[in-house]
Every structure is written in C-alpha cells, then in structure tokens.
Chain A
C-alpha cells in the first residue's frame, strides 16, 4: 500500500484540534510516550503521529496477510506437479504389485496380513503426499519439499521395480 495519507484529507482527521485528550486512540504498539510529550519532542501534531502509527500498523498487517496468502511461484508449482506425478506413479506401482499376488485358496492369518500390508502400501503414497502438504502448510515452503522428497525416497515401490510381487 503506497497511498500515504493525504495531508488534506480532512475527513479523516481533526485538523486544528490541539486538545490531546481528543487525539485519536493510538493502536497498541504505537509510540509509548504520551501525546503531549511526543508533540514537544518532534514538533509534530498528535494527529500526525497517530496517523503515522496507524499507517505503519496497517502496512505491517497487510504485509503479513500478503505473505500468508502469497501465490506459489511457478517454479514451486512445477515442482509440486513433478512430485505429485512421482507419487502417482508410486501408487500405480504398488497397485500393480498388489495385482501380481495370487490369492491363496486357504485363508490363513498370514495371507490376510499380507493383503492388509499390500493395501496399506497402496495407501501410503497418497497419504504421505497429502499429509506432507497439510502438516507443513504453515511452515516455510522448503519444509514441504523436504518432506515430499523424503517420501519419494522412502516409498519407492521396490516389489514392482524388482519384478516380483
């Protein structure tokens, strides 16, 4: 926000009113000194001081809000796309490795746990991807990428790549 408050913008000020008790309430965090002291020190009116403090605060708030809702850079978008693609391929790899299993005729504890593990393995890649995005969204974007890259290393579908089941 570059529009500084206009000196002539009388609608928003009380020009000429020197009574310090009528000064606009300063937002918290503005100059701590009493209005009269501030005026004596700098030679500026209370109103100007208050305006300035208000402007500063507004600008700070806006900068923080802009940072929070900042758009992703195109490089980050492309990286997300590539990583998302890798996770998708991993998921497909795990699905294919699941389809290679021959379901045994006799159902035992072992065969059931095997199927459970394979189902979980299919779910692992999308779960990791979504969780990494969700849990790091309030942190710096590089944390998101660090976790996504760790996932790419951990979730490689070796059973599929090695050709076994």
Chain B
C-alpha cells in the first residue's frame, strides 16, 4: 500500500527508442498513401497538360490536399499517441491509416 500512484505526464520525451521505432515503421507504411497521392498529383497534372487544359485553383487544391492528407494524419496520430503506451500508439497509427483512405475517398468524391 506504500506505492503512491502518480499519473505520469507522458509527453514526447517518454517516447523512448521503441516509441520512435514504432513511429518510424508507420512513417514507411504511411508513405504508401503519400506515394499514391503524389502519383495522383503527377498523373492529374500530366492528363490536364495532355488535353491542353489549364489546371485550375480548385483542382490544385484537391490534388494537393489528396497528396498531403497522409502527412497530416500521420502527424495527428503521432500527437494523439504521445501519451499512450506503444500498443496504444500502434492502434492509433492503424486507425489513422484507415482514416487516410476515408479522407482520400472523400476528396475523390468531391472532385
């Protein structure tokens, strides 16, 4: 009964090696989405130029948002998981991975 439970404030300093290892692994996994986004960006711009149509501001916004979504969600997952244990961080990253797909499809639906 002598153990006094002090709720630890777990910031980024508590990530430790394993925490950053998790973050790094998921950085590569998220790169899959990022790759798709950049491929889409290049593809759209190429297609537009093939048809000689100027890429409008709205289209730029959509394709850039599409490419940037994985980065934003990754950072969000990193921040959300900063006070969790590694298992929690992995769960957050996995959910984030699915959320990237959701937002990407939302953007496609808007386009």
Give the interface of A toward B (CB within 8 A): 27-29, 57, 94, 97, 109-110, 113, 116-121, 123-124, 127-128, 131, 134-135, 154-156, 158-159, 162, 164
**Sampled A-B contacts (18; CB under 8 Å):** A29-B2, A109-B39, A117-B105, A120-B97, A120-B100, A121-B98, A121-B101, A121-B105, A131-B94, A135-B84, A135-B91, A135-B92, A154-B99, A155-B99, A155-B102, A158-B106, A159-B105, A159-B109
- Least CB distance from B84 to A in Å reads 7
Interface contacts (Cβ under 8 Å), in number, total: 66
Q: What's the least CB distance linking B109 to chain A, in Å?
A: 4
Residue from the list A57, A97, A127, A156 in contact with B95, Cβ < 8 A: A127
Complex-state Cα separation, A158 to B104, whole angstroms: 11
Shortest Cβ distance from A98 into B: residue: B105
Report the interface size for chain B: residues with CB under 8 A from the other chain. Answer: 23
Additional pairs, 17, CB under 8 Å, beyond known A27-B1, A128-B99, A159-B105: A28-B2, A97-B105, A113-B36, A116-B101, A117-B104, A120-B97, A121-B105, A128-B95, A131-B91, A131-B94, A131-B95, A154-B103, A155-B102, A156-B106, A158-B105, A158-B110, A159-B106
Minimal Cβ-Cβ distance residue in A for B109: A159
Interfacial residues of chain B within 1-49, with CB under 8 A of chain A in the complex? 1-2, 36, 39
